[in-house]
Structure formats: structure tokens, C-alpha cells
């Protein structure tokens, strides 16, 4: 149990220090001024539990949602790639996405709580306004417990929106709740448009150091 808590904290931890953040009410809709997206108090079976905003656009905004099942939480991060934000080209977004994916794959080398990390699925949604990627990983902890961990990244003009959500494989209901959360999260961006992520050929990840 301790290993699970430490692992989930690592995967969903934010980057905001107490000195640079301001916290907003969690039980009301939150409208992000940079993307125009409104994040409701509830998404599926998850409840919004925390919002933190930094004055530094590279650090950006962090939103946390917690599920009803134990050990089921999601972190949403909205940030720019420069302190003077400009529209992010698709190729620059893709480079940033690949680095984020590699960071998850490298968890076994940078965290004592992760013994193995593998990419088990890769999808894309080639929308002209909000291109997105959705990767699913299989993680194994130092306590030999396995997890499903998802990374979703969406390009929104001069901001990137990143979702990280992880759930133990043993909790089947929680996995269903997580998949529903991801779908509802994506619906915030695409509204009435069908959100059909397509499986892409998995790129060979960098060799682990």
C-alpha cells in the first residue's frame, strides 16, 4: 500500500511550490482563460479536488481530479513552452510530446518505486484545431503491483494541455472509470464533434539508459 501511494504521488504530483501558486475553489466550474476550456466540478465519477495557478506560464495551471475508487486520481496541466507564449507549431508540440512519453518510459531509471515501464498503446486524433496524442503504459512497481497509466496531450494554440492518470490493474471498476474520465476530458475540447482516436504504429522508443 505504501508503495502504491508513493507511486501515484510521483505520477500525479504537480510542479507548483507554495510560494508561487494560488488556489481556487474546487466545487465550481473553472474556466481557463488561456484555452477557453471550462473544467466542471465533476467529470464522470471523478471530482475536482484542487486547482493551482502559477504566474509563470511555463509552470502554468494544475487541476486535480480524484475518483471514487481508492488510488484513482488524475492530474491536468496547462502550460506554455516559453515565458513569452506564442502559438506552438505542430512539430514543436510533437517533439515535446515525445519527450513526455520518454519520461514515463524512463521512470524505472529515475524512480525507485517503478521497476518496469512499457508503452502498450499509442493513439492520435488529427484534429485541425486541437491535435492530440493518447498513450497508454503498463507499469510495475517495486512491490510487483501493475498499473495502467495514461498520458494524453492536446495542443491548444500557445498552450499544451497534459493529462496524467494512473490506476492499479487490480481495480477493474477504477479502470473503467478512468477510461470514461479520459473520454469526457477530451469531450471538453471537441464538444459535439466525434472524438475518434486512431491507433498509430508505435514508434520505437529510445533505448533505456
99-115 pLDDT per residue, tens: 999 999 999 888 888 88
Fold classified for 2-12+22-199:
Protein Transport Mog1p; Chain A (3.40.1000)
For the chain, the C-alpha Rg in angstroms (whole number) is 16
**Comparison of pLDDT for 72 and 187, the residue scoring more:** 187
Sketch the domain layout of the chain as residue ranges: 2-12+22-199
Q: Hey, CA dihedral for 95, 60, 64, 109, is it positive or negative? A: positive
Q: Is residue 77 scored above 70 in pLDDT?
A: yes
Q: Which residues contact 99 (CB under 8 A, 6 or more apart)?
A: none
Show the cell assigned to 68: 471514487
pLDDT of residue 21: 52
Number of residues written out for the chain: 209
Predicted TM-score of the model (pTM): 0.84
Amino acid at each position: 500500500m505504501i508503495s502504491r501511494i508513493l507511486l501515484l504521488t510521483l505520477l500525479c504530483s504537480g510542479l507548483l511550490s507554495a510560494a508561487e501558486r494560488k488556489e481556487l475553489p474546487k466545487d465550481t466550474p473553472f474556466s481557463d482563460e488561456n484555452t477557453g476550456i471550462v473544467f466542471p466540478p465533476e467529470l464522470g465519477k471523478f471530482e475536482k479536488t484542487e486547482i493551482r495557478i502559477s504566474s509563470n506560464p511555463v509552470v502554468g495551471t494544475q487541476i486535480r481530479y480524484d475518483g471514487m475508487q481508492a488510488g484513482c486520481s488524475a492530474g491536468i496541466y496547462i502550460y506554455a513552452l516559453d515565458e513569452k507564449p506564442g502559438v506552438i507549431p505542430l512539430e514543436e508540440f510533437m517533439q515535446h510530446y515525445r519527450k513526455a512519453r520518454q519520461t514515463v518510459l524512463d521512470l524505472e531509471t529515475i524512480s525507485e518505486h517503478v521497476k518496469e515501464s512499457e508503452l502498450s498503446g499509442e493513439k492520435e486524433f488529427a484534429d485541425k484545431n486541437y491535435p492530440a496524442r493518447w498513450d497508454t503504459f503498463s507499469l510495475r512497481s517495486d512491490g510487483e503491483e501493475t498499473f495502467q497509466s495514461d498520458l494524453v496531450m492536446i495542443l491548444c494554440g500557445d498552450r499544451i494541455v497534459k493529462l496524467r492518470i494512473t490506476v492499479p490493474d487490480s481495480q477493474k471498476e477504477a479502470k473503467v472509470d478512468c477510461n470514461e474520465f479520459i473520454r469526457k476530458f477530451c469531450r471538453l475540447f471537441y464538444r459535439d464533434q466525434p472524438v475518434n482516436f486512431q491507433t498509430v504504429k508505435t514508434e520505437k522508443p529510445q533505448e533505456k539508459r
